[in-house]
Amino acid sequence: MMDVNRRFFLAGSAATAGLATAAAAQETKEALPFGPPPEHAQLSRNENPYGPAPSALRAVSETASKGCYYADSGKQRLTQMIAERHGVDPSNIVIGSGSTELLSAIALAWGRSGKIVCPGLFWDTTIKYGERQGVQAVRVPLAADMNVDLAAMLAAVDDGVALVQICNPNNPTGMLIDNASLRAFAAQVTPQATLLVDEAYNELTDTPESETLVDLVKEGQDVIICRTFSKIYGMAGMRVGYAITSPENAQLIESYIMSFGGNVSGLAGAIASYNDTAFLEKSKAMILEGRQMILEAVASAGATALPSQTNFVYVVVPDADAVQAAMAQRGIFIRGAYGPWKQYSRVSTGILKDVERYVAALPEVLGSLQA
């Protein structure tokens, strides 16, 4: 009798556990908060909605059951792949939880040695992180055309500067720095300070290989290049980025990063899609189509925008916050003003049907503000 009761108890417990698991799974499925609601046009965060690549998704699915293991071997594999593509040694590569972690680590590491010179307008989240930890940043105003003012930045470099940081193409302007000018700038900066170039959007430029400074690392100049899988690879939420620099710089960066070994899913997706040229070409074509739609709509509405080499456009408007609010009323989400630059409105290239909603709404929104 005791054996019978035990079998019934175990069977009942298993059934109850199964129902509880199913209920929990259903609740989780309904509650997962990733991505915008279907009725929203998400054009505010520079995400690439065409990724991750099918190759990445297959790899994530196949390796999900390996999530119980640390990801060191995957980190080593991706490091080797990146090093091979760029013709450097694996000791030149640092993998991080997105390039954000690497940029934050660099801000802390170099900020302990001296000041950081940077543009007055760029993606400065990691610099602000450093400032909260006591790092001193010297912000140099942009040039009159809204590009990075290399001459003024060079003038700001003195013996107390440890790092010069730029984003190329720049965010939020979308503008690309002339490569010859940037190389001349690097040659003048690096004898005195480390040059950090955030190339998050490099793959979206017209000629990526001609716009990078990775070759300066190979030549031995004191340069750090940061890249990410968040943009062209469409893996913003999977947090994989990397830096290419000297072995000495790489060791210093590594000593300041906070994550441990990476995550299985992100690394699996990155490894699988890193050389997926078919996906990258298709993804870039869709992004550029959306960007062209925005530029044409801006021109048709009688407005102007800065030249963009990214997956976003910086549009000249009467009031960026007012444009953001008016678009939000229509379920279209874009960025508001960046600090004092209230006359510029940043709009990202999302899926084309969402871009079409922005295109359709723009004349009415601008017209209402100019009336």
Task: State the pLDDT at residue 259.
Answer: 86
Task: State the pLDDT at residue 13.
Answer: 43
d(CA 239, CA 357): 29
**Residue 114: count of CB within 10 angstroms of its CB:** 18
Q: Which of 194, 187, 186, 216 is nearest to 115 (CA)?
A: 194
Task: State the pLDDT at residue 18.
Answer: 43
**What is the chain's percent helix, strand, coil content, to nearest 5?**
50, 15, 35
Task: State the pLDDT at residue 37.
Answer: 87
pLDDT at 1 over 50: no
Task: State the pLDDT at residue 30.
Answer: 64
Task: State the pLDDT at residue 264.
Answer: 95
Write out pLDDT tens, residues 180-198.
999 999 999 999 999 999 9
**SS3 label, residue 346:** strand
Q: How crowded is the C-beta side of 116, counted as CA atoms within 13 Å?
A: 27
**Residue 81: count of CB within 10 angstroms of its CB:** 16
Task: State the pLDDT at residue 262.
Answer: 85
Write out pLDDT tens, residues 126-171.
999 999 999 999 999 999 999 999 999 999 999 999 999 999 999 9
Mean pLDDT score across all residues of the chain: 92
pLDDT at 62 over 90: yes
Task: State the pLDDT at residue 33.
Answer: 85
User: Cβ neighbours of residue 31 under 8 Å, at least 6 residues apart?
Assistant: none
Taking residues 225-237, report their average pLDDT. Answer: 97
Task: State the pLDDT at residue 36.
Answer: 87
Percentage of the chain modeled with pLDDT above 90: 87
Domains in the chain with CATH codes: 42-50+277-370 (3.90.1150.10), 54-273 (3.40.640.10)
Strands 344-348 and 312-316: antiparallel
Exposure pattern of 214-226 as b/e (b: 16+ CB <10 Å)? bebbeeebbbbbb
Write out pLDDT tens, residues 32-58.
888 888 899 999 999 999 999 999 999
CA 137, distance to chain mean position in Å, is 21
d(CA 156, CA 189): 10
When pLDDT is cut at 50, 70 and 90, the band that residue 31 belongs to is low
Q: Report phi then psi at 155, rounded to 5.
A: -65, -25
Write out pLDDT tens, residues 325-350.
999 999 999 999 999 999 999 999 99
Q: Which of 150, 184, 143 is nearest to 164 (CA)?
A: 150
Q: Which residue has the tokens 């939000």?
A: 328
d(CA 65, CA 207): 39
User: Cβ neighbours of residue 69 under 8 Å, at least 6 residues apart?
Assistant: 264
